[in-house]
Structure 1
Amino acid sequence: MQFDIRTLLVAVTLATAFCAGARLLLWRMHPTIPGLGRWALAGGCAVISFVLILSYGILHWQPFLSLAQVSIVIGLLMSWDGFRRFIDKPALTTPVLLGITAAGLIWAAIAQAQHLAGAVVVGNAFLVATLSFLIARDLLLWPKGNTPVIRSTGGVFAINGIIFLIRAVVALDSPQTVDLLNPDGVAAAMLLWLLCSMIAITLGMVLMTTEHLQSVLNNQANHDPLTGALNRRSFGVLYEQAAVHSRRHQLPLSVLMIDLDNFKQVNDQLGHDFGDKVLCSFVAVAQKVLREDDVFCRFGGEEFVALLPSTSSETALVVADRLRSAFAIDSASLGAKVNHAPFAITASIGIAELEQDERFESFIRRADTALYRAKDNGRNRCEKAG
């Protein structure tokens, strides 16, 4: 079965141009997201490749085809670098990118001079397969990439690697079989695959960006913008989950209500900027002292709360005192202003353990009462609810 290859090639080129335009628009809309600029460059390289192949079909000048194959490799390099940036992996260095590009151009020039067009096809196919497998590996093995979009995009690159590996093997024996201008089913099938994969990969990029933006919005909705700690809204949700687990498995659940001592004086006498620094310092100390499973949030102002699953009030008291002591040491080293201030920057903590069938409001109120008892008893101390 034969196809009008040139018509199909024009259609693929136009579709690739639309995909490149979508990537460029995506980058222009979200320029701060890592990797999107590289994806846009990759789309541009793909368009250049197909334009060169079309030019080769019209003018039959072999260098056009060689340059098109080099452009495809450069585009995949840009895609790989873009995906690595997007998933927070080290970006490809400029010497690596320039080195591979220069090697491709030199190889194409040598093959052209020696009339080794078949060697260029084979080498290009192996390079495309290798880069496709590398991209698939990075996406499919990304610890945070367990989403249908990322797995599907990685799968497309894996399939592309297999197809180009087969293309390389076939080209070793019969280069004309894989010629994109050869009017047979193999060439048409290859062009159709390139069309489908370009659309699928571009769609994957758009959806991955959407997922990233949604993740950023969720993070902003659930975290305090100054300290990065969870906020009061997210604490309520996580408390319900912890309380259900505690009651179902008959495990203790304790809470720490924390208030920074003399914080109004910090803001009034040392400035709000320094007060913000104190808040961030306390959060950093708390994240070191508390366990990964503990829930820590900024409850409002200088007040914080920590939920300790599978922890009795006695153990929670030990944890609270460790946190109080660590912050007292850390705050003393914040700067010369603190050392000369007529007050200490410390923390008072109230502890309560969840009782059977106790409501959230009562649980928090008991811990809050213990906190104010700690304040009344001299600050920089921990008190357990009765």
Structure 2
Amino acid sequence: MTSLHSPTLVAVAAILMFIMTLMLLAAWRMNPRIAGLKAWTLAFACGLPICLNLLLRDYAPEWLSVVFTQLSTFLLAWLNLAACRRYLNLRRLPHSAGLCTVAMLLLSGLYFTLVQPNQGLRFLTLSTVLGLLFLLSARTMARGGIAHYPARYLYALCCGSHGVFLLLRPWLFHIGNKGLFDSAQMLVVSHLVVIEAIVALVLLGFCVVMLANEQVTLALKQMADRDPLTGAYNRRAFMSMLEKATLYAHRLAFPVSVLLIDLDHFKRINDTWGHQRGDDALRHVVQVAQDCLREGDILGRMGGEEFAIMLPNATQQEAEHIAGRLRQAIEAQPLQYAGATLSLTTSIGVAGWLAPENPDGLLHRADEAMYQAKRQGRNCVVLAPQAV
């Protein structure tokens, strides 16, 4: 069986890189706010000069071909890592680290080309640097939980596999009695490397598109489930989660409690300070509340200045303790604005779920307790009667 001639494989790779670059460019232009897409587009664009250099290397001095290849491949791997970090809103890579690495890579390449020619060491150095960069990209992307972000983990798998192959690549080219292949098989190995690069980069390109789609989907879900002013869940999303929690509570026999919170004298805040300060007060209450809550507690805005908090696996007595801590925190942390202090207080009603109560009934009892707190002078916590 005859195999494809190497220049043919490289030409195929160049065509695919051009198509993937155009695809990412279109995705970036349509979604310019998705962090990392620009860097990914530039990374794939670096693949084109790599392919062209391989096709034209017989027509250029060896040292120039080495410098061009090492610079292009390094930029591809470095920009890929930078794109991963930008996508996840992590701190940007220091430019000094990139400059030092590429300088070391180019100097070693020139040394093993002009001073002490050694293709094996030159190839080992390049493969090690690229392999480590792709493994770092894989480690960067693999976070957040595979159930919530499957595209991230698929991208990490592709990056990690490609990084491992790059680290093993020098040993695949080790010719002789100690090598994996003899000299007659050298052509097969080179084809393997080109084919692996084509497959890896095509998969990575499609994974980037999946990441962009995942980001758009999450943004749409955020818009559908979240209150745009405060970032808390909106009433529809909160009631949906409360319904699920009461179903699980009924089946698994664990407690669920609800806090209903009303910001005291909110109309007076709007009338005295203006609606902008009223919005700031609502955001401030949400921020303070989130600092007081446990992991897994759900905060929702029910409308106006009224908020609700679902406390899974919390009895009414435990919920009362959390409500008291929250009331004290809001009172102790007034809103600061332009040198002025705006004191805030809340009235909180607490209700524990009682089987077979539905979510509306649970929320209604918490609402009645909250209004009782307002009648008692505000800035206090009242428990709902433990009967349906």
- TM-score, structure 2 as length reference: 0.88
Deviations 1:82-105 (A, max 9, x none): 112223333211111122122222
Q: Which residue of structure 1 aligns with residue 108 of structure 2?
A: 107
Conserved? CA contact 1:4–1:183, under 8 Å: no
Displacement, 1:205? 0.9
Conserved? CA contact 1:350–1:371, under 8 Å: yes
Conserved? CA contact 1:139–1:145, under 8 Å: no
Match of 2:299, as an amino acid?
Answer: F
Confirm or deny that 1:33 pairs with 2:30.
no
Q: Which residue of structure 2 aligns with residue 385 of structure 1?
A: 384
Give the alignment of 1:306-345 within 5 angstroms: 306-331=309-334, 337-338=340-341, 345=344
Q: Which residue of structure 2 aligns with residue 284 of structure 1?
A: 287
Q: 1:187 to 1:312 in 2, by over 3 A?
A: closer
Hey, what's the Cα distance between the residues in 2 that align with 1:195 and 1:315? Answer: 58
Conserved? CA contact 1:3–1:185, under 8 Å: no
Q: Which residue of structure 2 aligns with residue 222 of structure 1?
A: 225
Q: Which residue of structure 1 aligns with residue 367 of structure 2?
A: 368
Please state whether the residue corresponding to 1:306 is helix, strand or coil.
Answer: strand
Match of 1:361, as an amino acid?
Answer: D
Displacement, 1:334? 5.9
Q: 1:27 to 1:117 in 2, by over 3 A?
A: farther
Q: 1:384 to 1:95 in 2, by over 3 A?
A: same
Q: Which residue of structure 2 aligns with residue 156 of structure 1?
A: 158
Displacement, 1:329? 1.9
Displacement, 1:286? 1.2
Deviations 1:241-279 (A, max 9, x none): 211222223333222111111101111110111111111
Conserved? CA contact 2:36–2:83, under 8 Å: yes
Displacement, 1:64? 4.5
Q: Which residue of structure 2 aligns with residue 21 of structure 1?
A: 22
Q: Which of 286, 294, 304 is 1:301 aligned to?
A: 304
Match of 2:382, as an amino acid?
Answer: E
Please state whether the residue corresponding to 1:378 is helix, strand or coil.
Answer: coil
Match of 1:272, as an amino acid?
Answer: H
Q: 1:202 to 1:22 in 2, by over 3 A?
A: same
Match of 2:5, as an amino acid?
Answer: D
Task: Point out where structure 2 has 5 or more consecutive residues left out of the alignment.
Answer: none
Tell me whether 211-220 or 63-72 shows the greater mean CA deviation: 63-72
Equivalent pairs, count: 375
Conserved? CA contact 1:367–1:385, under 8 Å: yes
Hey, what's the Cα distance between the residues in 2 that align with 1:322 and 1:154? Answer: 42
Q: Which residue of structure 2 aligns with residue 54 of structure 1?
A: 55
Q: 1:321 to 1:189 in 2, by over 3 A?
A: closer
Q: Which of 119, 130, 139 is 1:137 aligned to?
A: 139
Conserved? CA contact 1:256–1:350, under 8 Å: yes
Match of 1:290, as an amino acid?
Answer: L
Conserved? CA contact 1:226–1:280, under 8 Å: yes
Conserved? CA contact 1:5–1:183, under 8 Å: no
Q: 1:170 to 1:288 in 2, by over 3 A?
A: closer
Deviations 1:288-347 (A, max 9, x none): 2222232211111100011222333333333323222221222276676556xxxx6321
Displacement, 1:355? 2.2
Q: Which of 258, 262, 265 is 1:259 aligned to?
A: 262
Please state whether the residue corresponding to 1:226 is helix, strand or coil.
Answer: coil
Conserved? CA contact 1:351–1:370, under 8 Å: yes
Confirm or deny that 1:74 pairs with 2:75.
yes
Conserved? CA contact 2:284–2:335, under 8 Å: no
Confirm or deny that 1:93 pairs with 2:94.
yes
Hey, what's the Cα distance between the residues in 2 that align with 1:159 and 1:102? Answer: 26
Displacement, 1:50? 0.9
Task: Point out where structure 1 has 5 or more consecutive residues left out of the alignment.
Answer: none
Conserved? CA contact 2:35–2:83, under 8 Å: yes
Conserved? CA contact 1:3–1:183, under 8 Å: no
Please state whether the residue corresponding to 1:379 is helix, strand or coil.
Answer: coil
Q: 1:311 to 1:170 in 2, by over 3 A?
A: closer
Q: 1:371 to 1:197 in 2, by over 3 A?
A: same
Displacement, 1:9? 1.6
Conserved? CA contact 1:20–1:43, under 8 Å: yes
Hey, what's the Cα distance between the residues in 2 that align with 1:217 and 1:310? Answer: 30
Q: Which residue of structure 2 aligns with residue 169 of structure 1?
A: 171
Match of 1:156, as an amino acid?
Answer: C
Q: Which residue of structure 2 aligns with residue 126 of structure 1?
A: 128
Hey, what's the Cα distance between the residues in 1 that align with 2:349 and 2:76? Answer: 59
Confirm or deny that 1:205 pairs with 2:204.
no
Q: 1:3 to 1:183 in 2, by over 3 A?
A: farther
Match of 2:169, as an amino acid?
Answer: R
Please state whether the residue corresponding to 1:298 is helix, strand or coil.
Answer: strand
Hey, what's the Cα distance between the residues in 2 that align with 1:150 and 1:289? Answer: 31
Hey, what's the Cα distance between the residues in 1 that align with 2:151 and 2:315? Answer: 42
Hey, what's the Cα distance between the residues in 2 that align with 1:8 and 1:318? Answer: 69
Match of 2:272, as an amino acid?
Answer: Q
- TM-score, structure 1 as length reference: 0.88
